[in-house]
């Protein structure tokens, strides 16, 4: 309850012409009123901090355990300057830059994000963010339907099952039919023959992930392009890999999606993430989400503002290209700062380190009796499937006892992959981490 004797409040009430704050709520019917919220009363900052500290202590962080988890969220090195910049409250306490003149900083930073990602992906335009890689894929499928007026969308079996569920939910509304294309059991790459069978005159778009969920690099991409011809081609990326892997724009992609969490955003137990969404110039007007454009002010000085807003929900309502409003702008700024700090050579090097480390780790695991890694005979990025003749539950439990978190298990969602797990390694793993894993696995034999 606000103190009614406060002279300022009294004056405010007098100006309004009421005698109490309660009077301002007189239009709320008695029958919908509540007594009070059944929550404890507010606490001071000190008490709240102590309480939450005690709760969060129950978490194990990457400082406490060695983790080989990836599967869409990755533990990469983030330079301190990234946190320093996104911790500037002029950035983080601002709203969507509706008033361009007072928001040039955020607008230019987002334009730089768009530009950096456009360069990485080979697209002309990147929007200023989607929620994550999964929803970006959902939006891409809708955009393909919008552009092509066709009814089927083809996606590979080699994507994360969560992504598949999101794609399914995003496609329901417009009645887009989803068709799954299988993979080659020997090399984990897309099954070209199956793809050929699925593509037809009803195909609105084809999605390929590179690297795919198994960490496999799809190097038969030219053949994919050949099969799908002029059908809209959507490519999903891990942006770190683009330090050395060809930009999808250079192999025929029309739309690029993915998650830029690896570029300067912590894992945060799953969010916020940063959905990448880009496309070729000719499709820009059908794109979802906010975009920042370069323009001029009244004095002819270079300036930035949100543009193509007539595609968006606040103007176009039911005819908008998407319902997205709040996005992940601050994460996009983090990514712009990250890429600026890491630079051209740094990103190339990081991509190479990830590949080398994964290959070495896979070879070492493969050298242990009862393990095969990588399961698929192909080039990988920083993840690979490990299979074992041992019971994986036993393996995981044994690793846990050594403070090691094994890779994510696959059998529940890929019934053909019994006793397998997806292992990930990045530049954050010191040599000791790999040694610990190998030693623990060797103990099992």
Q: Which of residues 272-301 bind other proteins (CB under 8 A)?
A: 272-273, 281, 284, 290-299, 301
- Strands 420-424, 383-388: pairing kind: antiparallel
**Using the rule CB under 8 A, is 439 a contact of other proteins?**
no
Which 238-277 positions form the footprint of other proteins (CB under 8 A)?
Answer: 242-247, 250, 259, 266-273
CB of 122 or CB of 205, closer to other proteins = 122
d(CA 102, CA 80): 27
Tell which phi-psi region holds residue 333, choosing left (phi > 0), alpha (psi between -120 and 50) or beta. alpha
Give the Cα-Cα-Cα angle 370, 374, 377 (nearest 5 degrees): 120
**Using the rule CB under 8 A, is 374 a contact of other proteins?**
no
**Using the rule CB under 8 A, is 58 a contact of other proteins?**
yes
Min separation Cβ 184 and other proteins, Å: 15
Distance set, CA 197 to CA 26, 135, 153, 224 (Å): 67, 27, 13, 12
Candidates 60-68, 147-155, 361-369, 386-394: pick the segment binding other proteins (CB under 8 A): 60-68
Candidates 179-187, 196-204, 310-318, 387-395: pick the segment binding other proteins (CB under 8 A): 310-318
Lay out the site mask for other proteins across 169-208 (x = CB under 8 A, - = otherwise). xx-xxxx---------------------------------
Give the Cα-Cα-Cα angle 360, 364, 368 (nearest 5 degrees): 165
**Using the rule CB under 8 A, is 165 a contact of other proteins?**
yes
Residue from 109, 257, 385, 440 touching other proteins (CB under 8 A): that is 109
Q: What are residue 235's DSSP bridge partners?
A: 208, 256
**Using the rule CB under 8 A, is 342 a contact of other proteins?**
yes
**Using the rule CB under 8 A, is 345 a contact of other proteins?**
yes
Residue from 221, 373, 385, 410 touching other proteins (CB under 8 A): that is 221
Query: b/e per residue, 170-203, with b = 16+ CB within 10 A?
Result: bbeeeebeebebebbeebbbbbeebbeebbeeeb
Residue from 159, 208, 355, 395 touching other proteins (CB under 8 A): that is 355
Cα-to-chain-centroid distance, residue 229: 28
Min separation Cβ 74 and other proteins, Å: 9
**Using the rule CB under 8 A, is 445 a contact of other proteins?**
no
Which residues are CB-contacts of 282 (< 8 A; sequence separation ≥ 6)? Answer: none
Give the chain's end-to-end CA distance (angstroms, integer).
67
CB of 126 or CB of 253, closer to other proteins = 126
**Using the rule CB under 8 A, is 235 a contact of other proteins?**
no
Size of the residue set binding other proteins (CB under 8 A)? 197
Cα-to-chain-centroid distance, residue 321: 20
Residue from 5, 8, 230, 445 touching other proteins (CB under 8 A): that is 8
- Of 410, 367, 415, 372, nearest to 390 by C-alpha is 372
- Strands 275-279, 255-259: pairing kind: antiparallel
**Using the rule CB under 8 A, is 18 a contact of other proteins?**
yes
d(CA 269, CA 136): 20
Candidates 127-135, 146-154, 177-185, 192-200: pick the segment binding other proteins (CB under 8 A): 127-135
Contact 208, 235 (CB under 8 A): yes
Min separation Cβ 117 and other proteins, Å: 8
Q: What are residue 177's DSSP bridge partners?
A: 152
Residue from 340, 364, 413, 444 touching other proteins (CB under 8 A): that is 340
Min separation Cβ 197 and other proteins, Å: 24
**Using the rule CB under 8 A, is 92 a contact of other proteins?**
yes
CB of 127 or CB of 203, closer to other proteins = 127
CB of 319 or CB of 432, closer to other proteins = 319
- Of 392, 397, 427, nearest to 412 by C-alpha is 392
């Amino acid at each position: 309850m606000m103190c009614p004797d406060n002279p300022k409040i009294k004056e405010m009430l007098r100006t309004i012409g009421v005698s109490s704050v309660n009077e301002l709520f007189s239009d709320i019917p008695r029958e919908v009123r509540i007594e009070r919220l059944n929550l404890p009363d507010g606490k001071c900052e000190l008490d709240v901090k102590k309480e939450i500290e005690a709760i969060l202590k129950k978490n194990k962080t990457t400082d406490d355990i060695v983790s080989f988890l990836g599967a869409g969220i990755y533990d990469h090195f983030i330079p301190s300057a990234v946190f320093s910049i996104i911790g500037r409250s002029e950035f983080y306490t601002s709203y969507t830059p509706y008033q361009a003149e007072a928001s040039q900083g955020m607008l230019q930073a987002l334009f730089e994000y768009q530009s950096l990602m456009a360069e990485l992906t080979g697209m002309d335009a990147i929007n200023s963010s989607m929620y994550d890689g999964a929803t970006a894929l959902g939006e891409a499928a809708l955009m393909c339907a919008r552009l092509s007026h066709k009814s089927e969308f083809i996606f590979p079996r080699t994507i994360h099952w969560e992504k598949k569920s999101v794609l399914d939910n995003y496609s329901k509304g417009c009645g887009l039919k989803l068709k799954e294309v299988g993979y080659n059991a020997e090399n984990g790459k897309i099954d070209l023959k199956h793809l050929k069978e699925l593509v037809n005159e009803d195909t609105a778009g084809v999605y390929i992930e590179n690297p795919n969920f198994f960490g496999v690099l799809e190097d038969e991409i030219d053949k994919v392009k050949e099969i799908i011809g002029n059908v809209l081609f959507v490519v999903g990326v891990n942006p770190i890999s683009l330090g050395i892997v060809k930009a999808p724009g250079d192999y025929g992609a029309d739309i690029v999606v993915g998650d830029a969490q690896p570029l300067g955003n912590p894992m945060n137990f799953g969010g916020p993430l940063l959905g990448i969404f880009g496309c070729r110039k000719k499709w820009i007007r059908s794109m979802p989400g906010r975009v920042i454009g370069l323009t001029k002010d009244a004095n002819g000085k270079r300036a930035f503002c949100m543009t193509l807003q007539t595609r968006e929900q606040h103007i176009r309502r039911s005819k908008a290209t998407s319902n997205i409003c709040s996005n992940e702008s601050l994460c996009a700024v983090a990514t712009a700062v990250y890429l600026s700090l890491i630079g051209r050579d740094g990103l190339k090097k990081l991509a190479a380190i990830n590949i080398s480390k994964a290959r070495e780790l896979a070879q070492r695991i493969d050298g242990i009796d009862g393990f095969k890694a990588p399961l698929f005979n192909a080039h990988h990025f920083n993840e690979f499937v490990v299979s074992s003749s041992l019971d994986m539950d036993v393996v995981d439990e044994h690793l846990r006892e050594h403070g090691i978190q094994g890779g994510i298990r696959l059998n529940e969602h890929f019934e053909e992959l019994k006793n397998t797990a997806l292992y990930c390694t990045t530049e954050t793993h010191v040599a000791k981490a790999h040694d610990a894993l190998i030693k623990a696995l060797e103990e099992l034999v």
